[in-house]
Structure formats: C-alpha cells, structure tokens
Structure 1
Amino acid sequence: MSTIKVAILGFGTVGEGVYKTIQSHQEKLKGVLGKSVEVAAVLVKNKHKKRDINEGILVTEDFEEILNLKELDVVVEAIVGENPAFSYLEKAIQKGCHIITANKEMFALHGTTLQKLADEHQVSVGFEATVAGGVPVIQTVQQLLNINQIIKMEGILNGTSNYILTEMRANQVSFSEALEAAQVKGYAEADPTNDVEGYDAFYKLMILSEIAFGEKPDWSNVPREGITEITPEQIKEAEKLGLRFKLIASIEQSQGEIKGYVRPTLVSESHPLYHIEGVENSVSIEADIVGRITLQGPGAGMLPTTSAVIEDLIHVVLGNGQQAIFSGVPSGLLKQDEKQQQKWLIMNKNGVLLTSSSSAQKESHVLVKADEPTIHTLRDDNKQASFFQVLGEMKSNLFVRNDSA
C-alpha cells in the first residue's frame, strides 16, 4: 500500500485533534512511515452538522459504511463509553484493520478480548492514549518488562482532578469554583462525574494493572473515592503540615495478590508526586532492577491525547503495536510486608478518639501508622473524622500511633 487509509470514530476533542494532526503533519508521517496517511472516513453522530472536514472524506453516522470501504488499514476510536465502541473495534479487527483507542472505560473492560482477537487476525492494538494523556507510560512499562519486574505503580492519572485541587490550594477557592474554572478552560466536561469521582483514574489503573501484572484485581475490591468532599479548610490544614492533596491511583502485587486504590491522598515534599500541579499527570513506577522512575507530562486537553494516538499510529503501522497481556510477577520478587502498614492522617476539629485494649486518647489531627483493617476500625469509631493516606516523609510534631489489626 502506498497510502495508509485511516477511519476516525468520533469527532469530539480527540477525534478532531487526530484529524487535524494527520492533515498538518503529512510530511513527518510520510518520512517516518514511507507512506502518506489519509483519513478515509469519519464516524459522527450527526452528519448534517457543519464540520471542518475536507471534501471527499466519507462522513457518516453508520459504521457499516466504514466497514464496507474497500481500502481501510487503521481504525482510530475516540468515542466515550463501553458500547458501541467495543463492537465497532471487534468488527474492525475482523475486517483486518489495526485499531487504536483512547477509550479507557471500554479498554479497561474489554482490552484483553480485543488483544486476543487482534492476535488471531494478525493486527495490532494501540492504547497509549487510554492512560495519562501525553505521558508515554505504557510504552515505558513495556520496555521495562523486557528484564525488570514491576512491583508497584502509583500516580496522578486524571488531569482534571489535579487541576481542581491545585486551584483550590493556590487560589483558595471552593471545589465548585475550581470546577467551573476547569470547565471554562476545557479541562472538565459539562458532566464531570467520571473525573471528580475517580472513575477515569480507576479505569486507567485497571489497564496499567493488566499490562504490568497480567491481570486485574476484582474491581469490587479496589476502593475508589473522588475529590468532591475535599474542603478548602482541609487543604489549608494539610498545607500547614507540608502536605498537598492529590487524587492518587495505586496498584501493586504483593504476597501473590494485586491490590489497588483510587483516593484523595496527602503527599509530602519528599515524594515525587508532590510537585505535579495543574493538568499534569505523573506515574511513579517501582521495579526490581531499575528501582523507582517517574514520568510526567500533560494529561488533559486535545493535544496530549492526540499525541499519544499519533504515536500509536506509527507503532501499529510499523508492526510493533502494544501487547496488553503479560505474565505476573514471580512471587520471589514481591515485596514482603506482612502487616502492609501505611501512614494515615486523621482530621477532625472535635478530636480523634484512638482506642486500644488498654487506653483511649483524644487528639486533634493524628498521624496513624497502621494496616487497612485498623484504619477501617478507626473509621467506625470516628465517623465524623476524615481519613487520608500520607505518601512520603513528614516533618511534624503530630501524635503518631503505631498499630495493626
């Protein structure tokens, strides 16, 4: 083929960005691929709506029209939600097309199925755009997995939530004011639920789990909390202690079990995620040989995601597309920590009651070092208090209690 024919499914922020980039970067694409890239078709909801799409390109509401094209090499999917995106990509693979997706919800649910089907039809799957926008975390993890074994990944995977938390702290505004600013700048959707309630980060975390460990944990066992309950007062109190709120997504394999969470977390200056501000995304990867490496880049907006899709286009056409399935970490390489203790800051203006078999103490803000079962018990005893895990070292005179279930 002298020309690579591409269909784009969806013409929202990402789909339009991919279209414009293909048009504006023709010479660079041809230089890398040795062939020109042509957008042959665009799938839209309303084909009568005026769009800046060149004449001669099929603009349709019917995916079957795209499947019936005689020449089609790559299908780029930029639709929101599980269906019909999944069924479209299944059909595209069966037609013999490479596929690229930016749909994290759909891929978290069906990535393994699509990869197996692609293997059967000898085509490639690109999914870098499903995680962390312009941060090449998937390509990096795949390179590490040649020799290294991933032990843990944690990061800021949602630029919208990070922007809101940054605005609340830096400009001392409420959640609703920061959200409105994010929407004005185009960082947040009209319905921001997926971002601010942690769903977006959750789906991305499940994709990372599969590429690092070869499987996902039971979704129902992965805590997911958003940022909607964080108050300006809590942000001020945390700042006094040298801490910043971040929506952290974490996944690790320990003692033969994959454990993860998505939740508002307090990060100290000693931690690499402390300085990640605005719409930036960052992922910290811990592996057995290289130790810890941290990737950072823009995570929201048209261009970061478009960049990931275009890079995937290069990879799938050149035949080095991504593989979603890996074997798990050998048990001998896993970090062994029987109690799995973590640091938690408990905030409560009325004081926090810490109970044990022999004593009871009441303090204001308390830093507790304990395992998850103990934290659950303390939550039950202090229903009015707020509990936040702490990452990094703290310089504080807070009361510290070491405990375990």
Structure 2
Amino acid sequence: MTGGKGLFYLNYALTHRMHAIAVSKGALVVEGKKLINLAHQHNKKLFFSGATAAALPTVDLFEYNLAGCQILEIEGVFTGTTNFILNDMLQHECAFAESLEKAQAKGIAEPNSSFDVDGWDTAAKITILANTVLGAEVKIQDIPRQGISHVTADHIRDWKKENLIPRLVGFIHIKNQQIQTGVELRLVPANHPFAHLQGSNKCIRVLTQEMGELVVSGGASAPLATAAAALKDFELMLKTGC
C-alpha cells in the first residue's frame, strides 16, 4: 500500500492551505499521522471518518464524544463484507465461496475480495485509528492478521452447537503505554454485542478509564453510506467554521 494519487492530492490540498476530506484508506494508512500534522501546521482540518468504517462512527466518537478520555481498549467488527459472509454462512450453513458470491452479487464484496476476507481492510482501519487517534506509529504490515476464507460449513455447524458466533475483530489494546494491535477471527457468545450484528452491519467497542465501556453498532456497508460519511464530514467542516 503506497497511498497512490490520494496521498498526492491530500498533500497538495493541505500544503496549499485547503481543508481536505479523505474517504480512501491508502493515504491514511501510509502517512495518516503526517497528514494530520501537516493540516495542523497550516491551521487546516483533515476529515476522514469515511475511511474508517464509513457510516459507523469511529473517528468522530474519539474526537467529540470521548475527547479527553484515556483509551484502554478499542475493538470492533470494522469490515461489513466479512460480517455479511459470516452471517450468511451461519444462516444457511453453506460454503464460504457461496456466501462470498452472494456478497459480490449485492455489491458488498469487490470482485477481488482478498483485501476484505484476508483481514487487510480491518488491519488498515486499525492502523488509521491507532496512528491518528492514539498517536501511535503502527505499520499495517506488522499487525498480526487472520482472515475468514478458511471457514467451512463444518466449522459453522460446530460453532452453532456451542452457541458461538464467528466475527472478524480488529483490536487495539493499550497497557503500560504499550499498544498491541491485531485482526483475529474471534468466537463470541450469543449475548455479546458483536453477535447481534445483522447483514453487513459493523460495531465498535471502546473501553475508557473515565467513561467505562461504550458500544456503537450499525453502519451497514453500502456505497450510499460511504458517500453520506463524506457528506457528513463536509457538513462538519461548514458547521465548525473551517
């Protein structure tokens, strides 16, 4: 991941004293922290809520609702594609390839789905959150990562017997000023907040020192939702007088 043209355009906008809105993850994964510093240097604002789970509030949650809080844990189901596939496999006890084909037919999964199903999309979002929200220096290639393509119908049947729900979870844990990150296929009990996610809905769970635990869910993956997230950033830009 190099950041591509998106990185060039964001650098250009900020160095020429323009506010910027980013939806693509690439530039933020590669140089998210530098871009934020560049925006501050020129007294401008970089908005990027659409790049970290789109319609699911993530960046805004930390910037506004949890401002000033000490973050202890961030965990979430950040990739709607993988959640749709796992939910479909749970419902129909079918093969991974069959559920993937359904996701592609609905426009939820890309024709080349490896970025999502191999955990790279979740790892990218974890990288952005760790570096921009927590000021870390996480590199995406260093994040331990699992995917879901190895899950079979037999796995699903066995997990259902034990009342366990599979979810692809990205996490950031902070302890003694050390940050641990990862993407893992996690089996959660049926009463867990992640277990209740339907379709391509997503979820974020944050544990703070001052406000305790906060869970936000929803934000199903869809092109309209991503566009709405970018529009929301534009509205915030106008309302905050940027």
Q: TM-score range by the shorter chain?
A: over 0.9
Distance 2:96 2:18 in 1: 44
Distance 1:219 1:85, change over 3 A: closer
CA shift digits 1:244-269 (9 cap, x unpaired): 11100011111221001101110112
Quick one: higher RCO (CA 8 Å, sep 6+), 1 or 2?
Answer: 2
Deviation at 1:120, TM superposition (A): 2.1
Contact 2:124–2:140 under 8 Å retained in 1? no
Determine if the alignment matches structure 1 residue 113 to structure 2 residue 42.
no
Tell me the equivalent position of 1:280. Answer: 201
- With normalisation by structure 2, the TM-score equals 0.94
* Alignment-derived partner of residue 83 in structure 2: 162
- Pick from 167, 185, 194: which aligns with 2:106? 185
Distance (Å, rounded) in 1 between the aligned partners of 2:143 and 2:20 = 29
Work out whether residues 216 and 258 of structure 1, in 8 Å CA contact, stay in contact via their aligned partners in 2: no
Q: Distance in 2 between matches of 1:210 and 1:144?
A: 19
Report the Cα distance in structure 2 between the residues aligned to 1:147 and 1:256, rounded to whole angstroms: 16
**C-alpha contact (below 8 Å) 1:157/1:283 kept by paired residues:** yes
Q: Which runs of 5+ in 1 are unaligned?
A: 1-79, 322-405
> Paired residue for 1:222?
143
Residues 78 and 122 of structure 2 are in contact (CA less than 8 Å); yes or no, is this contact kept in structure 1? Answer: yes
2:56 to 111, 131, 135: 135
Q: Which structure is higher in helix share?
A: 2
Contact 2:4 2:26 in 1 (8 A): no
| Residue aligned with 1:180, SS | helix
1:101 and 2:14 aligned: no
> What is the match of residue 69 of structure 2?
148
> 2:211 is aligned with what amino acid?
V
Question: Which residue pairs with 2:97 in the alignment?
Answer: 176
Distance (Å, rounded) in 2 between the aligned partners of 1:81 and 1:256: 29
Picking from 182, 194, 205, the partner of 1:261 is: 182
Q: Which one of 212, 226, 236 corresponds to residue 157 of structure 2?
A: 236
Partner Cα distance (2:234, 2:141) in 1: 34
Residue identity in the other structure for 1:155: G
Q: Give the aligned length.
A: 242
In terms of Rg, which structure is larger? 1
Contact 1:299 1:305 in 2 (8 A): no
Matched-pair contact (CA < 8 Å) for 1:179–1:188: yes
Q: TM-score, normalised by structure 1?
A: 0.57
**Percent identity of equivalent pairs:** 28
Which 5+ residue runs of structure 2 have no aligned equivalent? none
Query: Partner letter of residue 191 of structure 1?
Result: N
| CA gap 1:160/1:320 in 2 versus in 1, 3 angstroms | farther
Deviation at 1:315, TM superposition (A): 1.8
Q: Is the 8 A contact 2:21 2:234 kept in 1?
A: yes
